[in-house]
Structure 1
Amino acid sequence: METVGQDQIIIATAGHVDHGKTTLIKALTGIDTDTMEAEKKRGLTINLGFAFFDLPNHEQVGIVDVPGHERFLKNMIAGLSGIDLVLLVVDAAEGIMPQTKEHVEIMSLLGIDNYIVVLSKIDTVDDDIRELVTEDVKDFLKKHDIEAPIVPVDAISGTGMKNLIEIMDKKVDSIKKPKYNGIPRINVDRSFSIKGFGTIITGTLLEGELTKGMTLEAFPSGKTTKIRNIQVHDEDVDKAMPGTRTAVNLANLKTEEIRRGDVLTLPGNIQPTSMLDVDFRILPDKNAHLVDLWSRVRVYLGAEEIIARVVPLGEETIDATKDNYLQLRLEKPVAVKKGDRYIIRSYSPMVLIGGGTVLDPNPKKHRRYNDDVLEQLSVKASGNQEQIALDFLMNQSELGATIDGLADYLNISVDDAKAIVQTLTDENEVTKYGKLVVSNDRLANFKKDILETLGVYHKSHRLENGMNKEELIAKFRTVVDGKTMERILEKMVSEKLIRIKGFIVADANFHVKLNKYQQAAYDEIIATLKKDPLMPPSDDDIVGNDKNKQEVFKSLEGHVTVRLGEKNVMLKSAFDDVTQQVVNYLKKNQTMTIAEFRDLTGASRKYGMLILEYMDKQGVTRRKENMRVLAKG
């Protein structure tokens, strides 16, 4: 089997109904894209027809025959996903018609600006009509800022066809395909079954590559499936690359479980959404009130039509002279990526209004007038990938993102994401913590959050030296993983923002301050513990009902004192001393009985057992029958 190359070109025909698009494709390719009986009867291309042929100096190119009849406009929009070149077909006898204009407006909104104008049925008109229509077309192109050759042809007689193919060949030569980004995604525009094969879908592979055996997920349903077979240009292939028009045979998925408008991609690559933040361009001759607050509209995304409500952001009404931002509240979930193009038509009557780009596919609900939100949308609309990456790192819920996560969000290749991160690192805008990329501004704010958390703890626990490190890490677990948090804390120590002693973390400027009553209580507690250091007293023996002693005593545990059990406490310094004695003894003698511990330290059997059991818990010693040995010996 073969692999279809990444540089495959997809060409679409567009233009008014009956201007000769399907006939033109048949003349170019020998393939009749009017395959459905209903289409044959009407002379219309209802669903997307597809054909392919070899240009003289290139590999095969695919041609999508999109519908020209108004009823089937959403099919036409679906056909324009992944299009590189448009053959705008204009009947030499009729010239520019309303749907010619609408098709061009749609393609402009979808970011398609590469045209060849095919003046069709040229043998059916005289020279005067031909010249008149040609001038009409030139005026139309100038008005829409389109530079395109006008090629007169007659697909039935063959007039001009050779010239058209030569011009197509030159145009194709100048097309630069988008870079492969490694994450396959295909908009489904057909779903059907063939006996003996099962479910088959067709669509243009927007990005990434598809391979046989690959596991995919259908969105928004979340159904998983495996690729049985791939066809490109009616040929079985092992792999299909971006931009190819593809048919995919799917396993473990019934035809009714995947439909037109769904998206196939890697599991987890897309999060279905019922809201979109978008930039919006209204067409010059359209009424801005068609997109007032809560206007009901039809949104076209890929191969999907969705009903939505409009929420203009930052403005009372849409202004045709400036950038506009909308939040679209959808009536059903969709699966889209940042940067996808969309079209809006009014709900009824169906009038083309405008369109734009998806800036945030999974936004929160916004207040209409929020300067921070508008600034973020402005950055996202700018197209500056470094600034968009910084905005993402600064405003997402988690502290940072991996390179893969950035690539996924920006909808670019991993290599391109690495280059962006390197640029931002060189400009001192981001820092890498292992695999995590963190905005330096966000990191500075995060450090402030840590200091504020410690400050609150110190205020509530004035006599404690600090906060348990695990407790501090747990407070930020939804924001950053524990390993990265450890690295950030180490950095904050080196910056003299905090101090860490053992498992206790404190603000570097915090110190325990005892008043005279607390100092007196502290002195009495220490004196009690020092009196017989290897006879650990109980809590009641140390503090009784004295509230000052109780408060001070609690603050000492873990750094001045150690708790041997539920009731008994000893000085940490005394425990450390006796531990060293035991370690030295065991290094020399290998084993120690309780009697030998008593002889070595002078401790009673009762307290000796408590101390040795605590040493076992600390991993210093371990019990072996009725003796102790070094735990790591």
Structure 2
Amino acid sequence: MLAGVGPVRLVLFVVAADEGWKPQSEEHLQIVDVLGAAGGVVALTKADLVDEQRLAAARAEVIERLRGTALEGSRIVSCSAATGLGLDELLAALDELIAAAPEPERAGRARLFVDRVFSIRGAGTVVTGTLTGGTIALGDEVELYPTGRRARVRGLQTHKRPVEVARPVSRVAANLVGAEREELARGDVIGPPGAWRATRWLEARIRPVRGLAHPLTARGAYKLYAGSAERDARLRLYGTDEVGPGGAFARISLSAPLVLAPFDRFVLREVGRRETVAGGVVLDPDPPIRPGPDAAERLAAREVAAPEELPALLVAERGAAREADVLALTGRLPATAAPAVRAHGWWISAGLLAALQEAVRRDLQRFHDEHPLEPGADVAEVRRIIAEALRSAGRPAEPELLEAAMEALIERGALAREGPTVRLPSHRPRLDEHAEALDRLVRAVADGEPTPPTVPELLAAGHARELVEAAVRAGLLVRVSPEIVLTPGLVERALAEIRAAGAAGLTVSAVRERLGTSRKYAVPLLEHLDERRLTRRVGDVRVAREP
């Protein structure tokens, strides 16, 4: 009964009029009920074998048994396969049921629950199952879940008819190229590459079947049935030791991976008692490793959410999620109006981004106050600030997320990046507050030219390194090497000497003599002019480039 029943939403429920309601009828109704069937028709068969009084009693019993279930109010048709009695009425009832049923999802993620795998000589591997969610077409590349193996669809049949496109909800046979029979098993799923994520843990609301004669607890071993799959399952109940009539939130551990989506329904059977004990609705197919103290609140929000609200809810729960993860776990992306920001392959919740922005603003402001002459902090320092803020929010500081968060803050104008530094948009180096110190520094270099003090000598003389860097950025000094700074005037004088030499150019020695300096300064000065493409080296001489 349970094999492959997961995707079924409309039911033809059969009760024999001469036998009446049987224990297996009750179990079948329990399963249909917990799977949330959208409607059904009851066929009261073998009507030719009973008299009118017994047929009426059987009908009354069915009506009473269906009361309070998903099939309450379903049309009951008395019929007989032997005589043909009521078959036309049964077919009409089924047509009406289908016509009134809501349209199945057709534009979502295709998911073919595999219930059979076999090989055909000359064709290869064939799988059969029920297709839901979206279409599969000839030539499509598909992924075999949970193994991750890729294959191509070579042939398709629906209800034994060849088709080019298989549409949901239908029975489908697919001939696959690139997949061996041994690589597939009952319960696997065929779908678009990367569209699904297999799981061994899920969170759900479970409800006991009606009439359960014993308490439903986390103790014992269970079997979980979903789609066409059967898995051993262990339960962990949230906030209770026993599942009451209204149900309870639970975490379920599976013996092997299973492809599930939010709001999928499943059935639980207790192994020891060999009976169906509960059904459930998947709320989170990829729950956090630790449920946390707010697990019930988190799952309650998921329980009442519409499918289109799940992406934003997922991002809000996690603070940030890769776009590929959002698609695989919800089947869609957050709406443009959702409180989340898309940045470089990630979705970041507005709340987390605001916390990161405040942390970076606070620490960068402190940096600017302590280093007013610096244009900004190193990118690595800003990444460190973001990483600490992420850890404080309980989120791992993944390198890709650090970069995405920083770029999101830059795009929204909270930060400004200039080369290897990042600053607050309002920050500018405050040179005017250090004008006197800058003047002393520049005079110290100018007075020592053409052999000025090196940077280490300037630092030893009491000039701050930040002041030297600020003077270079402001153009008051020119850095020609890591340890040598010169005034712009001396650099321009060297360039003028080279230009005056014309095509003949000047050697290092000639420049050294004309400037009255030493090779220690002349070599890095000429290399600096080369790097700025003001001069070029031809053999042993430097020649000025055309302006």
How far, CA to CA, are the matches of 1:406 and 1:457 in structure 2? 36
Whether 2:161 is the aligned partner of 1:247: answer no
Distance 2:224 2:438 in 1: 72
1:500–1:432 Cα change, 3 Å: closer
Paired with 1:359 and 1:506, the residues of 2 have a C-alpha distance of 43
Pick one of 409, 427, 436 that aligns with 2:329: 409
Cα distance change on mapping 1:107 and 1:469 into 2, 3 Å: same
Q: What does residue range 274-293 of structure 1 map to in structure 2 within 5 Å?
A: 274-286=200-212, 289-292=215-218
**Partner SS, residue 291 of structure 1:** coil
Q: Could you tell me which of 354, 358, 361 is aligned with 1:448?
A: 358
* Matched residue, 1:330: 254
Aligned to 2:306: 384
- Per-residue deviation, 1:450: 3.0
Counterpart check, 1:421 vs 2:344: no
Find the partner of 1:105 among 17, 21, 30: 30
Deviations 1:83-140, CA, capped at 9 Å, x for gaps:
2421000101122222222222212222213100000111111111100000001111
Offset at residue 509 of structure 1 (A): 7.8
Q: Partners of 1:580 and 1:139 in 2: how far apart?
A: 107
Aligned letter for 1:541? E
One-letter code of the match for 2:412? K
Q: Deviations over 1:267-297 (max 9, x none)?
A: 22223322112222223433675332x6432
Which one-letter code corresponds to 1:366 in the other structure? R
CA distance in 1, matches of 2:184, 2:261: 19
- Give the direction of change, closer, same or farther, for the CA distance of 1:136–1:459 in structure 2 (3 Å limit): farther
Partner Cα separation in structure 2 for residue 337 and residue 112 of structure 1: 17
Does 2:119 correspond to 1:193?
A: yes
Cα distance per residue 1:430-483 (max 9 Å; x no partner)? 455688665433321232343356468679979855312366358676354857
Partner of 2:484: 569
Q: CA deviation at 1:530?
A: 4.3
| Equivalent residue number for residue 527 of structure 2 | 613
Does the alignment pair 1:370 with 2:285?
no
Is 1:315 equivalent to 2:240 in the alignment? Answer: yes
Counterpart amino acid of 1:315? T
Mapped partners of 2:9, 2:374: distance in 1: 68
Q: In structure 2, do the counterparts of structure 1 residues 505 and 593 end up closer, same or farther at CA, with 3 Å as the change threshold?
A: farther
Q: Report if the CA contact (8 A) 2:344-2:404 is conserved.
A: no
Q: How does 1:138-149 map to 2 (within 5 A)?
A: 138-144=63-69, 146-149=72-75
Contact between 2:38 and 2:101, CA under 8 Å: does it hold in 1? no
Match of 1:50 in 2: none
Alpha carbons 1:465, 1:555 under 8 Å: kept:
no
Alignment partner of 1:505 is 2:505: no
Aligned to 2:459: 543
CA contact (8 A) 1:277 1:359 kept: yes
Q: Which residue is 2:382 aligned to?
A: 472
- Structure 1 residues 207, 143: CA separation in 2 closer, same or farther (over 3 Å shift)? closer
Deviates further, 94-103 or 530-539: 530-539
Which secondary structure state, in structure 1, belongs to the residue aligned with residue 289 of structure 2? coil
In the alignment, what sits opposite 1:63?
none
1:176-202 CA-to-partner distances (Å, cap 9, x unmatched) read 223323532211111112222221110
- Flag the 1:81–1:143 CA change in 2: closer, same or farther, 3 A: closer
Q: Please tell me whether the aligned partners of residues 288 and 318 of structure 1 are also in contact (alpha carbons under 8 angstroms).
A: no
* In structure 1, C-alpha distance between the alignment counterparts of 2:371 and 2:398, rounded to whole Å: 22
The one of 422, 425, 447 aligned to 1:531: 447
Q: Is the 8 A contact 1:463 1:551 kept in 2?
A: no
Hey, what's the Cα distance between the residues in 2 that align with 1:399 and 1:628?
57
Query: Distance in 1 between the 2:472 and 2:197 partners?
Result: 46
In structure 2, relative to structure 1, the CA distance for the partners of 1:578 and 1:343 (3 Å cut) is farther
Distance of aligned partners of 1:112 and 1:510 in 2 relative to their CA distance in 1, 3 Å threshold? same
CA RMSD of aligned residues (A): 4.2
TM-score (norm 1): 0.71
1:207 aligns with 2:133: yes
SS of structure 2 residue aligned to 1:285: coil
Three-state SS of the structure 2 residue aligned to 1:421 is: coil
Residue 18 of structure 2 aligns to a residue whose secondary structure is coil
Distance 1:229 1:577, change over 3 A: farther
SS of the counterpart of 2:163?
strand
**Structure 1, residues 350-387: CA drift from partner, whole Å, max 9, x if none?**
222212222222222224x612x332222211133454
**Structure 1 unmatched runs, 5+:** 1-75
How far apart, CA to CA, are the structure 2 residues paired with 1:469 and 1:541? 29
* Structure-1 separation of matches of 2:404 and 2:530: 28
- In the superposition, relative to structure 1, how do residues 454 and 356 fare at CA in structure 2: closer, same or farther (>3 Å)? farther
Partners of 2:495 and 2:37 lie apart in 1 by: 80
Alignment of 1:90-129 (within 5 A): 90-129=15-54
Query: Partner amino acid for 1:569?
Result: I
Tell me if structure 2 keeps the 8 A contact 1:240–1:246: yes
Unaligned runs of 5+ in 2: 388-396
Aligned equivalents of 1:260, 1:576: Cα separation in 2: 82
Query: Deviation at 1:304?
Result: 1.4
Letter in 2 for 1:356: G
Amino acid at match of 2:409: I
Task: Name the residue aligned to 1:491.
Answer: 412
Tell me how far apart the structure 1 counterparts of residues 504 and 97 of structure 2 sit (CA, whole Å).
Answer: 89
**Residue type matched to 1:504 in 2?**
T
Tell me how far apart the structure 1 counterparts of residues 144 and 493 of structure 2 sit (CA, whole Å).
64
Q: Residues 160-189 of structure 1: CA distance to partner in whole angstroms, max 9, x if unpaired?
A: 111111121122112222332353221111
Secondary structure of 1:409's partner?
Answer: helix
Q: Which amino acid aligns with 2:236?
A: V
Residue 491 of structure 1 and its aligned partner are, at CA, apart by 2.6
The letter for the 2-side match of 1:313 is: Y
Assess if the C-alpha contact under 8 Å between 2:478 and 2:485 holds in 1: yes
| CA 462–355 in structure 1, closer or farther in 2 if over 3 Å, else same | farther
Q: How many residues align?
A: 526
**Correspondence for 2:394:** none
Is residue 164 of structure 2 the alignment partner of residue 238 of structure 1? yes
SS of 1:188's partner is: strand
Q: Which amino acid aligns with 2:485?
A: M
Query: Residues 444 and 483 from structure 1, CA distance in 2 versus in 1: closer, same or farther, beyond 3 angstroms?
Result: closer
Corresponding residue for residue 3 of structure 1: none
Contact 1:78-1:303 within 8 A present in 2 as well = yes
Q: Secondary structure at the match of 1:231?
A: strand
**Structure 1 residue 564 displacement after superposition:** 3.6
